[in-house]
Structure 1
Amino acid sequence: MNRKINRRNALLTSMAAGALMVHGGAGRRLSAAESPNEKLNLACIGVGGRGAANVSGVKSQNMVAFVDVDAKRAGKTFESFPNVQQLTDYRKLFDQFGSKLDGVVISTPDHTHFHPAYAAMQLGINVYLEKPLAHNVWETRTLTELARSKGLATQLGSQRHAMSNMHRVVEWVQSGAIGEVQEVHSWVGGSRGMPDFPTDNPPVPPELNYDLWRGPVLNPPRPYHPTICPYGWRFWWDFGTGETGNWGCHILDIPYWSLQLTKPTRIKASGPEPDAERTPKAMHVEYQFPAIDDHATLGKRGAVKLHWYHGTPPILKEKGLDASGNNTLMIGSKGMLLCGFSKRQLLPEDQFADYKSPDEFIPDSPGFHNEWLNACRGGEAATCNFDYSGPMAETVLLGNVAYRAGNFDWDAEALSTGDNQAAQALIKEAYRPGWEIEQS
């Protein structure tokens, strides 16, 4: 089957299944706009593991079809929804149901985020997509711009964005509790990465379509191994983006939202000697964000230096601070804020003993998946829509690029790493024959 995607073929494919309905507003179909209580027609691509949790998040809607290359891993979801169509290939989903779908939820490994999302968007279908949005910066930018141009409802799976503690942290920072923030340290603990090379060659299980699982990866195919598929892929560059890609869009959401960061101009990285095939056990990235003079929310904001660590930041020991339960330290002109997803503390403690929190101005989330469902019906954009989360995901992925290929100045508009050609080669990856993308 020809895997090449282009706009004309996508539209013809959809119309072969039924007349294509035109989206309006936030990308909803007219059939779903008749009543806010009307169920949306949804499909889910990848329904085992994290995908099963996302199915649970949208199960109140009309589940049209489930797509998964691994029938065993998807088995519990299939059993729980016996009347939902089961497919192996996402392209058959769009062939069969493209014109009937209001939205698609994609929870596949990083290397196969882009192709189904791109195909869905070309057909005007709203998309919920797991982090880190895509496998490289070009894919991330392409999906962000396509969603904007088509007015689609999108949501990146940074679910912690809906937590009330996150809201309060943002309110503290934006209300000036610690003054002007010029430096941020964010981290994820642990040392996952650099997995062992498999030494045996077990057969592909009969319930797994490994060729489809491999998808667009151009490099010589890595033989199937259970330590890579279904989960260990995360720590192989061909398929995953390491612990930085895994956690970066969750944790960097805190400074990104608080300081309304967008695109860095300089990226530096350090860590163990890079491995061509496997992601590291530790790394440190330093991003430079320029000052802004007239931001709609923050007004003026100075330049910000953002540090990302896979590992524990040295500054915690220097300042006698505890990493437990925390993942971000913001340093401002009037003090510091140490926080995690569910805890927060202003420092020095004695200085903020009488601090009174500002009135809450960030509303409670109706539920992270519900935000997207509401947006699909023409409501407000979801809080992690791609206009917000796309630049954040790009930043996360740029950290991996700098670690693998060296430091560079970043021209975000041109997607250029300047003189660092090794880094430039990682911004957009080539696809294996049959998976190429033809942009209109």
Structure 2
Amino acid sequence: MSNEEQPATPVSRRTFMSTAATAAGFTIVPRHVLGGVGFQAPSDKVNVAVVGYIHGMGTSNLLNVIKSDNIVALCDLDESAAAKEALKRRGTLEKLPKAVQYKDYRVMLDKQKDIDAVLVATPDHWHALIAMASMQLGKHVYVQKPLTRTISEARALTEAARKYKVVTQMGNQGHSEEGLRLMQEWLEAGAIGSVREVHCWTNRPIWPQGMPRPTETQTAPDGLDWDMWLGPAPMRPFHKTYHPFGWRAWQDFGAGAMGDMGCHVLDAAFTILKLGAPTSVISTLAYNFLPPVPGERGFGKRVEYNDSYPPSSLIHLSFPERGAMPPVKLHWYDGGLLPERPEDLEPDRTMPESGTIFVGDKGKMWCETYSESPRLIPETAMQAFQRPPRSLPRVPEGRAGHEKNWLDAIRQKGQAVSSFDYAGPFTEAVLLGNVSLRYPGQRLLWDAPTMKVTNLPETDQFIQHKYRGSWSLT
């Protein structure tokens, strides 16, 4: 075979879950000695509770779970007219007539004892608290990306998953994508040589970002418990720019463009290059002025991004050698910024809205957002490439089977492909990019074991989680 795909190595679901893959990010951890707090041998179907199922990805996660397993509980604090309309439009509750509904995840975990696993699809500022409470009770957890809002939370969840011996998964569904495995195999076959530079970009933000905090006071919709929605975040008045969609723009609630899409777009680089922790990061802001005032000359007022994330950013992460693999410079672009178009990319080929370009010493390789559609650049190199046999285990259904991969791991006492052992350190690196946005133009030197920026101690306030009132991870 020249440039045709070679047949895939047949891998049964049980073999997939019990075989140790060679690539970083594909490690399968045996659980034959599993017996953590509250653990029960799973039945044929896993009983799942979904927290945050009305808005955003929660509905998609829920629909994927019910293809094979049970939804026994639903938790969301929004009972507003808009939330009820969303449920009606999607027909969510009609599909789950036996699921018990809750407004407070603590009440749910205390009352309902048949829950085996919890899926968290809330705004980012809630991820760590709900996941931690669930793991402490021996519940398996699936948490939407980014895993957490702060670096210290990501570290805490990684350590807790090991302590409580539960099956975990982050919701970066591209990690189950076929293309991710193809690129790993191609790289190991020498398709582009050693990689020292990677460019990653996204079309986010697709929500308003880079603006001052609202000053007008609005009344929260009837049925929305605003104090509970804020939870561990600092108190502020309700405003429609925060809920239900715009919270990603605000540093108290979300993780901006990089947090939203970095755990998708950067996934291929972290996995196939085995990147681990960066040694330094430096960023620039593309725009930090408000629009000019009509009738006045020059730019508008300068904006300090201490509340909302900037509208555009460019972030550079440096990674050290990993065994025989050379150091890597990774460049992140968002808000309309793009890397330079490769000179050897054919004129009629369009760069995707989000994607990754790997620059090797023998060629280039790219993929789109979720590691799909991988190709060598130029296309003549792709056509001439002798593709290696498929050697890595595949996830059935690819990224559409990401939730099922987690559920199968629970049943078969394995570990999911994007477990917290991978997703936790990965999220830490992504969130370090956000820390750098607080200090544009300054190179931050990172010591991962201590979670410290060694040359700028004041960054610690943005690395450690701080919660309002009595909220706590312990």
Q: 1:253 maps to what in 2?
A: 267
1:286 pairs, out of 316, 338, 348, with 316
Q: 2:374 maps to what in 1?
A: 344
Q: Which amino acid aligns with 1:172?
A: W
1:238 aligns with 2:252: yes
1:212 pairs, out of 225, 228, 231, with 228
- 1:31: Cα distance to partner? 4.5
C-alpha contact 1:28 1:126 (8 A) present in aligned 2: no
Q: 1:396 maps to what in 2?
A: 430
2:95 pairs, out of 57, 61, 80, with 80
1:201 aligns with 2:235: no
- 1:32: Cα distance to partner? 3.9
- 1:425: Cα distance to partner? 1.2
- Residue pairs, 1:323-402, within 5 angstroms: 323-324=351-352, 327-340=355-368, 341-366=371-396, 367-402=401-436
C-alpha contact 1:29 1:102 (8 A) present in aligned 2: no
- 1:199: Cα distance to partner? 5.6
C-alpha contact 1:27 1:125 (8 A) present in aligned 2: no
Cα distance between partner residues in 2 of 1:204 and 1:24: 49
Cα distance between partner residues in 2 of 1:326 and 1:226: 28
Which segment drifts farther, 368-377 or 185-194? Answer: 185-194
Q: 2:239 maps to what in 1?
A: 225
Stretches of structure 1 that go unaligned for 5 or more consecutive residues are 1-22, 294-299
Q: 1:418 maps to what in 2?
A: 454
- Residue pairs, 1:13-412, within 5 angstroms: 25=34, 31-33=40-42, 38-48=44-54, 49-59=56-66, 60-72=68-80, 73=83, 75-76=87-88, 77-97=92-112, 99-192=113-206, 193-195=209-211, 197-198=213-214, 200-218=216-234, 221-271=235-285, 272-273=287-288, 274-293=304-323, 300-310=324-334, 311-316=336-341, 322-324=350-352, 327-340=355-368, 341-366=371-396, 367-405=401-439, 406-412=442-448
Q: Which amino acid aligns with 1:285?
A: I
- Structure 1 residues 434 and 44: CA distance shift in structure 2, 3 A: same
Cα distance between partner residues in 2 of 1:397 and 1:78: 35
Which segment drifts farther, 268-277 or 412-421? Answer: 268-277
C-alpha contact 2:345 2:378 (8 A) present in aligned 1: no
- Structure 1 residues 319 and 308: CA distance shift in structure 2, 3 A: farther
Q: Which amino acid aligns with 1:427?
A: I
Can you list the C-alpha shifts for 1:351-409, whole angstroms capped at 9, x where unaligned? 45421111112233122111100111243311111111111111110000011134311
Cα distance between partner residues in 1 of 2:383 and 2:248: 43
Matched pairs, number: 404
TM-score, normalised by the number of residues in structure 2: 0.80
Which segment drifts farther, 101-110 or 376-385? Answer: 376-385
Q: 2:300 maps to what in 1?
A: none
Can you list the C-alpha shifts for 1:2-38, whole angstroms capped at 9, x where unaligned? xxxxxxxxxxxxxxxxxxxxx95286976444x5xx1
- Look up the SS of the partner of 1:292 in the other structure: coil
Can you list the C-alpha shifts for 1:218-248, whole angstroms capped at 9, x where unaligned? 3xx2211222111100101111110110000
Cα distance between partner residues in 2 of 1:359 and 1:26: 38
Q: Which amino acid aligns with 2:352?
A: S
- 1:339: Cα distance to partner? 1.8
Cα distance between partner residues in 2 of 1:373 and 1:305: 36
Stretches of structure 2 that go unaligned for 5 or more consecutive residues are 1-31, 289-303
- Structure 1 residues 196 and 430: CA distance shift in structure 2, 3 A: closer
Q: Which amino acid aligns with 1:267?
A: V
TM-score, normalised by the number of residues in structure 1: 0.86
Give the aligned CA root-mean-square deviation in angstroms.
2.2
- Look up the SS of the partner of 1:316 in the other structure: coil
Cα distance between partner residues in 2 of 1:314 and 1:385: 31
- Look up the SS of the partner of 1:396 in the other structure: helix
C-alpha contact 1:111 1:239 (8 A) present in aligned 2: yes
Cα distance between partner residues in 2 of 1:26 and 1:346: 46
Q: 1:17 maps to what in 2?
A: none
Cα distance between partner residues in 1 of 2:456 and 2:150: 17
Q: Which amino acid aligns with 2:231?
A: G
- Structure 1 residues 363 and 411: CA distance shift in structure 2, 3 A: same
- Look up the SS of the partner of 1:339 in the other structure: strand
Q: Which amino acid aligns with 2:430?
A: V
- 1:261: Cα distance to partner? 1.3
Q: 2:25 maps to what in 1?
A: none
- 1:318: Cα distance to partner? 6.3
C-alpha contact 1:27 1:153 (8 A) present in aligned 2: no
- Structure 1 residues 361 and 206: CA distance shift in structure 2, 3 A: same
Q: Which amino acid aligns with 1:324?
A: P
Cα distance between partner residues in 2 of 1:381 and 1:176: 29
C-alpha contact 2:202 2:354 (8 A) present in aligned 1: no
Q: Which amino acid aligns with 2:177?
A: M
- Structure 1 residues 45 and 352: CA distance shift in structure 2, 3 A: closer
- Structure 1 residues 382 and 96: CA distance shift in structure 2, 3 A: same
Cα distance between partner residues in 1 of 2:425 and 2:264: 13
- Look up the SS of the partner of 2:341 in the other structure: helix
C-alpha contact 1:267 1:287 (8 A) present in aligned 2: yes
Identity %: 37
- 1:164: Cα distance to partner? 1.8
Greater relative CO (CA pairs within 8 A, separation 6+): 2
